[in-house]
Amino acid sequence: MASERTFPKAIGSLEEVFNHLDAFYAAEAIETGPAMSLSLVVEELFTNLVKYNTASRNPILVRLGRENGRVRIELVDHDVDRFDPATLPEVDVNAPMSERTPGGLGLHLVRAIVDHISFEYEDRVMRIVVVKNVERADV
Amino acid sequence: MFDIKRADDGTVKLIGRFDAAQVEARRAEFEALSGSCVLDLAELDYVSSAGLGLLFATLKRLTESGATLKLINLKPHIRELFQIAGFDRIFAIE
C-alpha cells in the first residue's frame, strides 16, 4: 500500500503526521518497535524542514510505501532554498556534558536507524528519501 | 498524548509520546524543576531528539546548580536511543 498526504509546515502538524503514520502501520501490520523508529525518523526530518526550510510555508508532502520487507518514506518540500542536511555539524556522542550541544542530534538518530537516506534538490524542490527494513529486530 | 505527573515520593513521571510539539508545550514545567530529581520513564513510549534535548538541558542546569538528575525504568528502545545519542554516558540511568 502506498499512502501520501500533505501537512502544514509547522511543528503543530506533528500529531496529524503521527496519525497518518499510525494508520499506515496498522494497514501494513508493522510491529510496534519498527513503527516507533519510523515515527522518530519522520519527526526528525519533518521538524528539520520546518526549522531550516523557512523560505516558503508550502505544505510538506509525506509519502509512505512498503515493498517486501522495506518501508520507503519520502518527504517533499516545494519552493525552498537549497538546504543540505549533510552540512549540519556531526554530533560527537563521546563528548563530555560540558561540550555537548543539542544541534545535529536528530539527524544522527535518523542515520543510526535507517538503512538508506538520500537528499535531492532540484528546481527549488527538496526531496528526502529514507528506507528501513522492518522485518529485522533492531531499533 | 504526553503527560507529566509527580508521584507522592517526589518522582516525576513522564508518560506517553514526548515529541517536538510537546517539548514546546511543556518546556516551562521542565524549567521549573529544581533540586535533585528522579525522572521515572516507565510509561514513556517515545522520545525524539527534541525531548532528549530538553532532558539534556534540564540535566545541565540542575548539575550546574549542584543538584542531580536520575532517570529510572527506561524501556529497552528508549534506553537504546540514549545509547545512540551517547547520553547513557552523561545521564545517571538506573
pLDDT in tens, A29-63: 999 999 999 999 999 999 999 988 887 889 999 99
A74-102 mean pLDDT: 84
Average pLDDT of the residues of chain A: 90
CB-CB: which of A36, A43, A105 is closest to B77? A36
In Å, how far is A22's CA from the nearest CA of chain B? 13
How many Å apart are CA B21 and CA B12, to the nearest integer? 20
How many Å apart are CA B42 and CA A33, to the nearest integer? 16
Q: What is the pLDDT of residue A21?
A: 97
Cβ-based neighbours of B83, under 8 Å, separated by 6 or more: none
Q: Are A9 and A58 in contact (CB under 8 A)?
A: yes
- ipTM of this complex: 0.92
How many Å apart are CA A70 and CA A65, to the nearest integer? 8
Does residue B72 carry a pLDDT above 80?
yes
| Cα four-point dihedral sign B21, A40, A3, A22 | negative
In Å, how far is A61's CA from the nearest CA of chain B? 19
CB-CB: which of A37, A43, A108 is closest to B20? A43
Q: What is the pLDDT of residue A84?
A: 76
B1-17 mean pLDDT: 94
Contact B81 A109 (CB under 8 A): yes
3-class secondary structure, B13: strand
CB-CB: which of B24, B81, B84 is closest to A11? B24
Q: What is the pLDDT of residue B50?
A: 96
Cβ-based neighbours of A24, under 8 Å, separated by 6 or more: A1, A3, A30, A64
For A88-92, B6-10, B39-43, which range has the lowest pLDDT when averaged over its residues? A88-92
In Å, how far is A12's CA from the nearest CA of chain B? 6
pTM: 0.92
In the sheet that holds A2-7, the strands lie side by side as A2-7, A60-67, A70-78, A125-133, A116-122
Counted across chains A and B, CB pairs separated by less than 8 A come out at: 71
Return the percentage of chain A with pLDDT > 70, whole number. Answer: 96
Q: What is the pLDDT of residue A68?
A: 86
User: In this complex, is the C-beta atom of A137 within 8 Å of any C-beta atom belonging to chain B?
Assistant: no
Does residue A78 carry a pLDDT above 90?
yes
A contacts of B53 (beta carbons < 8 Å): 102, 105
* Test mutation, B1, B19, B90, chain A, max A CBs within 10 A: B19
User: In this complex, is the C-beta atom of A10 within 8 Å of any C-beta atom belonging to chain B?
Assistant: no
